[in-house]
Structure 1
Amino acid sequence: MMQTFSSQNARHFPQQQLKTELVVTGGGLAGVCAALAAARDGLKVVLIQDRPVLGGNASSEVRLWANGATSHMGNNNRWAREGGIMGEIMEENLWRNKEGNPVLFDMVLLDLVQSQPGLTLLLNTVVTDIEKSDRRLQAVHAFNAINQTCYHVSAQQFIDASGDGVLGYLAGAAHRVGAESMEEFGEKMAPGENFGHKLGHSIYFYTKRTSQPVRFVPPSFALQEITAIPRYKRLTSDLNGCDLWWLEWGGRLDTVHQSETIKWELWKIVWGVWDYIKNSGEFPDAANLTIEWVGLIPGKRESRRFLGDTLLCQQDIIEQRDHYDAVAYGGWSIDLHPADGVYSEHDGCRQFHSKGTYTIPFRALYSQSLDNLLLTGRLISATHVAFGSSRVMCTCGVLGEVVGRAAALCQQQQLTPAELAQPDQVEMLQQQLLRQGAFIPRQPLINPARDAQIAVSSTLQLRALPADAGWHQLKSRCALLLPLKAGERLPAITVQLRAAQTQKLQVSLLTSNNPANTCGDRHIASQSISVNQQGQYRLNFAYRAEVDRYLFIAFEENPAVEIALTSQRLPGVMMVFNSLNPRVAKRTRQINDGDYGVDEFDFWLPRRAPQQILLAFALETPLQLWHRDYLLNGKLRPEQHTNCWVPAQDDAYPNVSWQWAESQQARQISLLFDNDFDHAMETVQMGHAQAVTPHCTTHYRLWLDEILLAEVTENHHSLCHHAIPQGVRFRRIRLELLASAGALPALYGLHLH
């Protein structure tokens, strides 16, 4: 049908009026987790994202792999992968996209958000203005250039997850930009003007090998002289994607308003680097390489940090301070980069790890200037130094879920975030997070199964692991990571060793000064043994644990000695190696080489599947590491002990029953299975060996008395929720574990809501 429009004095874009309960600005992982959490807790949510896809720096537009407390499995934070919604996203991506295709990760996020009831998504939509009255935001104005539509969205609660803090900035909220001096907070890692002001941006590129030579003609704006990059000798033809994170620049500019300037400089750098690789003659094997993709927008690290009622600082991280209002955690190193980026004479980063995970207080997650603005992602109240750790994407995702659930509580309880943060209120938020599978270090879920009596079909006891998987040469220090209960004695351990000629081998018993850590920084005892040919050797340290804690049975390096291995794998028990992960450390031991106010300790790292190994051993008396009572303790993963139940290997029909004397009523049952919380599950580029980890229960049935509530046949998640029909009462719940992904299944708990 033909339409004709006559001349007019002016026209206006159409405007849509939306009324909701919560506005979330920013669709990175923090904003996605915030919007999903709030919608699942009953709020009407509008998520405003200024890009065509979700994920922010993790999206196909930037293609940085999402990571967090696991730190590429390169630090001592065992079983530290993020839980809750961030964990759900990582597990779903692994299931659908273990090869790490960034376009498929876009799809995973879009699918989760688009299918969530109560959540309205506005893509390609930019917030341009806000309305506020006194200390409360009332509405946002936004514009979508694709459909040429203006939006006016009013709400009662607001979450700023925009990375640059568009809501907080327009509302006039207090914030900081740049690096604090050492004197202000006593942070010895404060960088000083020579090293840093802000972290810069990066643009990544992917390459592809072809069957014949490919010519490359650089653009006129490409960097002409590669020696302008002091680290240019680190360039190789096999570097790709996130390997080139150090192609960074812009830390001395305004990283918001000069982002376009920074982008053009990064394009200059990227195309100059590629010209050098292709055309310098230094890399003959690059002849058949071509560029498959170059980022069109930079990945941004730092801009504004908004002020809450507390400020996370270096000491919170290094000392692992536990806050009364702890609602989340981090574990990435304090990772600071020189402000001059790729043009700096300094190394590309300065990284220092804490000995374990640290907690993040809720008081850092809302604006001190406004009564209904919550902050998440890169915007939280932190110093530049602390921000160097908390800024990574999986940590940001965890913080997103926190503020999403906090917004729901504030709306439902008619509280401001500052009121919710008070000691007599914040437990509501902490327990709601734990019920939904989020992990808060050293915080248990209170009475998750309502004082149920529990019965299991069997329980695995650790007696001996057969030597059926060959031998491991002791080319570096390695250790068996094994937990003990308080008051429990470590039994004598027998291992199989061999050597062609008589060798001395030292074996040590280590633990961690902080029982919540697994860093092996406390030496208990050592035993020297003489190894000759092949035989069984007894280790006896006569140690009794004063608290629940993990022990290291550590074998010193001796390449002339080999130790027998087993093919079995056990939840909460593993081998670790005093080794180096070059992505996150420069040595096998952290050295405080400049008085940076950090600890010195060894890195004990696991191996990634399928390269994991476990030594064969026998115990003089068995250990009960996976007792049924762990299903009632409210601890959601290995921490000081395994905290899970595992059936015996010969149990053909493993099952658990929860029984109550009085009939019960609940809205929902949540099951928490094992899905290897130590596996980093990076989202893109790296790829992973398995789509679901071996101990995960893949097929189960859940019964209420004699009624089958659910049967699930392709589970690939650690956390599974099941709604109970309204009005249904029960006195018994039975869970049947029918299949796993290949290893013994493990269960952490059943929670009633």
Structure 2
Amino acid sequence: MIRSDVSEKRNPATVSLNADLVVVGGGLSGTCCAITAARAGIRVILVTDRPVLGGNASSEVRLWVLGATSHMGNNNRWAREGGVLDELLVENMYRNPEGNPLIFDTVILEKVVQEPNITLLLNTAVHDLEKSDPDTISKVFAFCSQNSTSYELSAPLFCDASGDGIVGFLAGAAFRMGAESSDEFGEKFAPSQEYGELLGHSMYFYSKDTGKPVRFVPPSYAIDVTKEVPRFRRFTAKEQGCQLWWLEYGGRLDTVHDTEKIKWELWKVVYGVWDYIKNSGQFPEAETMTLEWVGTIPGKRESRRFEGDYMLIQQDIVEQRSHYDDVAYGGWSIDLHPADGVFSEKPGCNQWHSKGLYGIPYRSYYSRNIKNLFLAGRIISASHVAFGSARVMATSAYGGQAVGMAAVLCTQQGLLPRDFSSPEKITQLQQALQKRGQHIPGLQLHDPLDLVQEAQLTASSELVLTELTEDTEPRPMVYSVAQLLPVAAGRFPALIVHPYAAEATTLEVELRLSSRPENHTPDVVVATQSLALQPGRNCMKLEFDVTINEPTYAFLVFRKNEQVAFRYSNTRITGVLSVFNLVNAAVSNYGKQEPTEDIGVDAFEFWCPQRRPEGLNLALKLEEGLNAFGVENLRNGLQRPTSHPNAYVADLTDPKPGVTLRWNEKQRIRRIELAFDADFDHPMENVLMTHPESIMPFCVQRFQILDENGNVLAQEQANHQTLRTITFDKSITARQLTIQLEHPSATVPAALMEVRVYKEEGV
């Protein structure tokens, strides 16, 4: 029994914790930052004011995680973000292809609690801080309402990934809110005069069909959307969750301090929408439906943006500028919304895409005036226009990983964030990130400690692509179609296609390239042909008098003709796919981007894959096979297709595919790192969308590693992840390693993106 009659003021229990890095904010950017740093060996405190991790991706908000892949609605091929974020999304696909947001919560939480270097504080809000000098944070103060405990969290380094920038704000870090004028940075999409309006918050709901009539009596605060919401006619009974992203409000208010007010307005809208769906008589299919879930906190888009040593701007995105200190990339459109949100007469968003990925420099990820403060998430140093692209969760998380690794290197070398921005230091950070699966456009990994660089590489077979077999019935050309082919420097190879014509007609063919080799926007037409087709099956040999200057992807384009059909191939190969001149209205893709005025963005066509189980390769034959899948790709420093497949691919007829590494002398080996193809072209939306498979079709699931005597050193029977690390308890000695692979299926040959071998575990 506890009894106290003291009338003096009491204080809650107080716990003091120390770490190398304190990360404030448990959204995906903070979570990926914390995991990255902890795995690299430093002590991390991850503190968040929410009961679960994931931020806008959590079950509290239920927004799908997207970034450069943009729902497969732009021209960014193989663009899904790597590293820890890739691991989370791939694991979620394996466990949760149905998109249950509660399961995604468990995936994120599991990855965090498995890390012994992370101290996780949920339901704990940072409210104050202490500084050792005007430019340096020494500790932050937080309170957990669930256990009535105050925390004092001390560290030499802090990362603000809180969304609203609570640490940066309290510390006096320079920040902005609202839009810059076009004059400040020369951004043509920026307004002529700066203003304070922002992107608003959104609130979602889920519904379900009960199989019996269900009535709905709206709460008194529900609004009449037919009178107050200009775009109410867009509502359907089928849309739910973040498909309702445009239920947005608050851009003219203070999106930090007015959040509770904004939340109430959104509740009024949500229940008004459901009242309309249930009771207007316009949706008879809703008679048996009921509300299953309504968000209790809004999903935030924009509030404070903090100033670093570099501010990302529109031209960085559209022109795909490279920076010496790029550590991450983006690829979502410049996606800005009207300040009045759902109450606006304007469209819900303006999305303008670039032709490919753009780099984000390290100098955007730390405060310019608080010496030991990193920035991660949507608060990084970017203009309002550039923020419209960089703000999305996958891009934010990718930057968080860069911050986590930067914190590790700063800790190891006793440096502050700005110290690592020098050209001499930044290479260390870039290389450390690339080792952990962080693709950085334009960069390749060069690791002198990797023993593979000294090895002789051989393979049991190497794919030479000579044919994509005819496996389907002829399919009419609903869209213009193009086959991406990885071609070497030299004369473009002749090939044979078999179009089927319903009547005599002409089929227009184009050979296209991208104006930038690393892009996949076919904006350069290098040759055209017109094929005269007769009714029925036609055998057409295509020869183009074209010389390719460097290895790249060529687009063999067949312009839409409704009288023509093609057969497709069930064979899927790493780094080879078909694309279509599709429309994807969800990301403002209407087949072609055509700005009506000079707003500083390009006009170009969209050529996008179809989602599986569609998206088969176009059946064709090549007179000279494409030899783009050799074993040397395993050590070229790239783990995904870029301007080339960058993969070793075995011949599908090889019954026992494998790669052998041989050295002149015996090597002491402690760690082997393998990179497989978990399909970086698939967006892996984590909620709402049901995916056709839980393991990517290109991913090798079974493999063995043997020494020169045939001893099995390691094996795996159920791999589904991109990166696999084999660490031996004690170093093994071998002159030769053989990695034996199994083909993923009868129609997909085994592929391996990278192999690295190290002497010591901690390298």
The interval holding the TM-score normalised by the smaller chain is over 0.9
Alpha-carbon shift at residue 451 of structure 1 (Å): 2.6
Alpha-carbon shift at residue 86 of structure 1 (Å): 0.6
Q: How does 1:98-497 map to 2 (within 5 A)?
A: 98-134=97-133, 135-191=135-191, 197-447=197-447, 448=450, 449-485=452-488, 487-497=489-499
Q: Contact conserved, 2:327 with 2:359, CA < 8 A, in 1? A: yes
Counterpart secondary structure, 2:520? coil
Alpha-carbon shift at residue 191 of structure 1 (Å): 4.2
Alpha-carbon shift at residue 466 of structure 1 (Å): 1.9
Q: Does 1:716 align with 2:759?
A: no
Q: Contact conserved, 2:177 with 2:196, CA < 8 A, in 1? A: no
Q: How does 1:566-581 map to 2 (within 5 A)?
A: 566-581=569-584
Alpha-carbon shift at residue 307 of structure 1 (Å): 0.7
The TM-score, its normalising length taken from structure 2, stands at 0.96
> Which position in structure 1 is the counterpart of 2:750?
745
Q: Contact conserved, 2:67 with 2:394, CA < 8 A, in 1? A: yes
Alpha-carbon shift at residue 35 of structure 1 (Å): 0.3
Looking at structure 2, the residues matched to 683 and 192 of structure 1 have their Cα atoms a distance apart, in angstroms, of 38
Alpha-carbon shift at residue 403 of structure 1 (Å): 0.3
Looking at structure 2, the residues matched to 397 and 471 of structure 1 have their Cα atoms a distance apart, in angstroms, of 43
Counterpart secondary structure, 1:684? coil
Looking at structure 1, the residues matched to 640 and 479 of structure 2 have their Cα atoms a distance apart, in angstroms, of 29
Which runs of at least 4 in structure 1 moved beyond 4 Å after TM superposition? 191-196, 704-707
Distance 1:577 1:592, change over 3 A: same
Match of 2:321, as an amino acid? R
Deviation digits for residues 275-327 of structure 1 (CA, Å, limit 9, x no counterpart): 11111112222111111110000000011111110000000000000110010
Looking at structure 2, the residues matched to 119 and 65 of structure 1 have their Cα atoms a distance apart, in angstroms, of 26
Match of 2:704, as an amino acid? R
> Which position in structure 2 is the counterpart of 1:65?
64
Match of 2:73, as an amino acid? G
Counterpart secondary structure, 1:459? coil
Looking at structure 2, the residues matched to 414 and 297 of structure 1 have their Cα atoms a distance apart, in angstroms, of 40
Q: Contact conserved, 2:178 with 2:194, CA < 8 A, in 1? A: no
Counterpart secondary structure, 1:276? helix
Q: How does 1:335-734 map to 2 (within 5 A)?
A: 335-447=335-447, 448=450, 449-485=452-488, 487-532=489-534, 533-665=536-668, 667-706=670-709, 707-734=711-738
Alpha-carbon shift at residue 656 of structure 1 (Å): 0.7
Counterpart secondary structure, 1:551? strand
Identity level (%):
49
> Which position in structure 1 is the counterpart of 2:8?
9
> Which position in structure 2 is the counterpart of 1:54?
53
Looking at structure 2, the residues matched to 578 and 569 of structure 1 have their Cα atoms a distance apart, in angstroms, of 20
> Which position in structure 1 is the counterpart of 2:761?
none
Distance 1:192 1:95, change over 3 A: farther
Distance 1:151 1:101, change over 3 A: same
Q: Contact conserved, 1:579 with 1:604, CA < 8 A, in 2? A: yes
Question: More deviation in 255-264 or 498-507?
Answer: 498-507
Alpha-carbon shift at residue 125 of structure 1 (Å): 0.3
Deviation digits for residues 520-548 of structure 1 (CA, Å, limit 9, x no counterpart): 10010101111112121111113221122
> Which position in structure 1 is the counterpart of 2:89?
90
Alpha-carbon shift at residue 663 of structure 1 (Å): 3.8
Looking at structure 2, the residues matched to 476 and 204 of structure 1 have their Cα atoms a distance apart, in angstroms, of 34
> Which position in structure 2 is the counterpart of 1:42?
41
Distance 1:741 1:621, change over 3 A: closer
Distance 1:137 1:53, change over 3 A: same
Deviation digits for residues 672-724 of structure 1 (CA, Å, limit 9, x no counterpart): 11111100000111121100111101011123555533211111111111224
Match of 1:748, as an amino acid? M
Q: Contact conserved, 2:579 with 2:615, CA < 8 A, in 1? A: no
Distance 1:191 1:274, change over 3 A: farther
Counterpart secondary structure, 2:381? coil
What count of residue pairs does the alignment treat as equivalent? 751
Q: Contact conserved, 2:249 with 2:266, CA < 8 A, in 1? A: yes
Counterpart secondary structure, 1:622? strand
Q: Contact conserved, 2:179 with 2:384, CA < 8 A, in 1? A: yes
Match of 1:321, as an amino acid? R
Alpha-carbon shift at residue 243 of structure 1 (Å): 1.3
Alpha-carbon shift at residue 237 of structure 1 (Å): 1.5
Counterpart secondary structure, 1:424? helix
Q: Contact conserved, 1:33 with 1:400, CA < 8 A, in 2? A: yes
Alpha-carbon shift at residue 666 of structure 1 (Å): 5.3
Alpha-carbon shift at residue 202 of structure 1 (Å): 0.0
Alpha-carbon shift at residue 727 of structure 1 (Å): 4.4
Question: More deviation in 231-240 or 351-360?
Answer: 231-240
Looking at structure 2, the residues matched to 203 and 709 of structure 1 have their Cα atoms a distance apart, in angstroms, of 52
Distance 1:465 1:424, change over 3 A: same
Alpha-carbon shift at residue 739 of structure 1 (Å): 4.8
Looking at structure 2, the residues matched to 9 and 678 of structure 1 have their Cα atoms a distance apart, in angstroms, of 63
Looking at structure 1, the residues matched to 707 and 196 of structure 2 have their Cα atoms a distance apart, in angstroms, of 59
Structure 2: tracts of 5 or more residues without a match: 759-763
Counterpart secondary structure, 1:126? strand
Distance 1:632 1:263, change over 3 A: same
Alpha-carbon shift at residue 267 of structure 1 (Å): 0.5
Q: Contact conserved, 1:328 with 1:402, CA < 8 A, in 2? A: yes
Q: Contact conserved, 2:225 with 2:269, CA < 8 A, in 1? A: no
Q: Contact conserved, 2:180 with 2:194, CA < 8 A, in 1? A: no
Distance 1:560 1:739, change over 3 A: closer
Alpha-carbon shift at residue 665 of structure 1 (Å): 4.3
Q: Contact conserved, 2:179 with 2:194, CA < 8 A, in 1? A: no
Looking at structure 1, the residues matched to 144 and 479 of structure 2 have their Cα atoms a distance apart, in angstroms, of 57
> Which position in structure 2 is the counterpart of 1:21?
20
Distance 1:221 1:35, change over 3 A: same
Deviation digits for residues 437-475 of structure 1 (CA, Å, limit 9, x no counterpart): 111111101145333210111011111122122112112
Question: More deviation in 186-195 or 152-161?
Answer: 186-195
Looking at structure 2, the residues matched to 260 and 61 of structure 1 have their Cα atoms a distance apart, in angstroms, of 15
The TM-score, its normalising length taken from structure 1, stands at 0.98
Question: More deviation in 612-621 or 183-192?
Answer: 183-192
Alpha-carbon shift at residue 729 of structure 1 (Å): 4.1
Looking at structure 1, the residues matched to 339 and 200 of structure 2 have their Cα atoms a distance apart, in angstroms, of 6
Q: Does 1:74 align with 2:73?
A: yes
Q: Contact conserved, 1:494 with 1:538, CA < 8 A, in 2? A: yes
Looking at structure 2, the residues matched to 552 and 413 of structure 1 have their Cα atoms a distance apart, in angstroms, of 47
Deviation digits for residues 174-230 of structure 1 (CA, Å, limit 9, x no counterpart): 011111111111111114679982110000011111211111111111112423211
Match of 1:745, as an amino acid? A
Counterpart secondary structure, 1:425? helix
